[in-house]
Amino acid sequence: MTDSFSREALYAHAAQIAAHPGFAAAKARHTHVGLDVVDGKPVVAKLACQISRYATLAMILCYYDLAESGNAQGGVTSSTVLAAIGRTPFASRSWAKLMVRVYHRAGMIAYDPPGPDRRARPFHPTPELLAMGQQAIGIFFEALALVDALPGDPAELAQRPGVLTGMARALVDTYFKHRFTMLEASPEIGALFKREFGYLIFAHLVQTMQTDAAGVTHASAPLGDMSKRYGVSRASVRNSLELAEQLGLVEPVGTGGHVLVCTPRFVALADHWMAVDLAWFSYLLTSTLARISAGADSFEEAAA
C-alpha cells in the first residue's frame, strides 16, 4: 500500500489478504471488533453500531485531530461536525445534532469551558470514547497482523498518540477526496449495516458460521440470546435477520429460527468485505503513521 489512496491498490491488497494462509484466523478475530467492544455494554452498542452514528463519531475524532494539530480554528464544535455530515449521505444534520447531544449525555464527549463566543462551544472526546476506539482498532490490528506485516505491536499501535484520531482523519479525508467508503465493496452488506444494529448481527452470524461435511454453512441466530448479549431488542434482531433473508444472504432452517443457512453468496460477500476492511485499515494506519512521522499537516504533504 502507498500513502496516496487508490481503489485499485486497495482491492489488490484485499485479494492478497484473502489468499493468505492466515485469513481464516484473521476473519475470526475481525468479528470481535464489534462484539467485544459492545458485549455487555448496551449503551455502547446503541452509540456506535449504525452507519449514521459511526459517521458522526468519525467526524468528531477527525476534527479533534485537526484541532490538536492546529488545523481547525475553534476546535471541535457542533457546527463543524454538522457541516461535514451535511456533505455526506450518511446522516442528516438534524440527526447528527441529536447524536452529539446523546454522546454528551453518555459521557463520550465533554464541552470545553465557554470562550468569548458562547454560541460556539468546543468539545472534545472523553477518555472513555478514546479508550473504546483504541480497543476497537487494537482488535483490528490483531486481525491484520495475522495476514500482513505491521510496523509494531498491535496493542502498542492502538495506544500510540494520534493514531486513532489520525485514522479517523484519514478516513474522512479519503471520503471527501475520493468518495470511497467500505459500503461500496459489498452493497448487500452495506444495506444490512444501515439497519439498526445490523453490524452486530452480521458479526454474530460470521462468528458462528460452521460448514458441515456436505459443504452447507450454518450460523446460530437465537433471538433471545442475541438480544440479551448485545442489549438489542428482539425486534431489531428479527428485522435485521429478515432483511438478510430478503437479500438472499441467509435461509431459515425449520420454524424455530435458531439456526440459519448462510448462502454461498453471503459466505463470499462476508469474505470479500472482511478482506477489503482489513486492507482499508492497513491503508489508514500506513498513511496516518507516514503523516505523523513526517510531521506533515496533510496526507498530501506526507505522500510527497
- Tell me the per-residue pLDDT of 61-82, one tens digit each, with 9 for 90 and over: 999 999 887 665 556 888 889 9
Which residues have a Cβ under 8 Å from the Cβ of 123 and sit 6 or more positions away?
A: 75, 76, 77, 78, 100, 104, 109, 110, 111, 112
Note whether 212 and 218 are within 8 A (CB): yes
pLDDT at 3: 47
pTM here is 0.90
Residue 257 has pLDDT above 70, yes or no: no
Lowest mean per-residue pLDDT among 79-93, 110-124, 153-167: 110-124
Residue 41: band (very low, low, confident or very high) from pLDDT cuts 50, 70, 90? confident
Q: Look at 72 and 51; give whichever has higher pLDDT.
A: 51
Residue 255, pLDDT > 70, answer no
Q: Are 15 and 158 in contact (CB under 8 A)?
A: no
Describe the crossing of helices 234-246 and 223-230 by its angle, rounded to 10 degrees.
120
Comparing 79 with 284, the larger pLDDT belongs to 284
What band does 104 get if pLDDT is binned at 50, 70 and 90?
very high
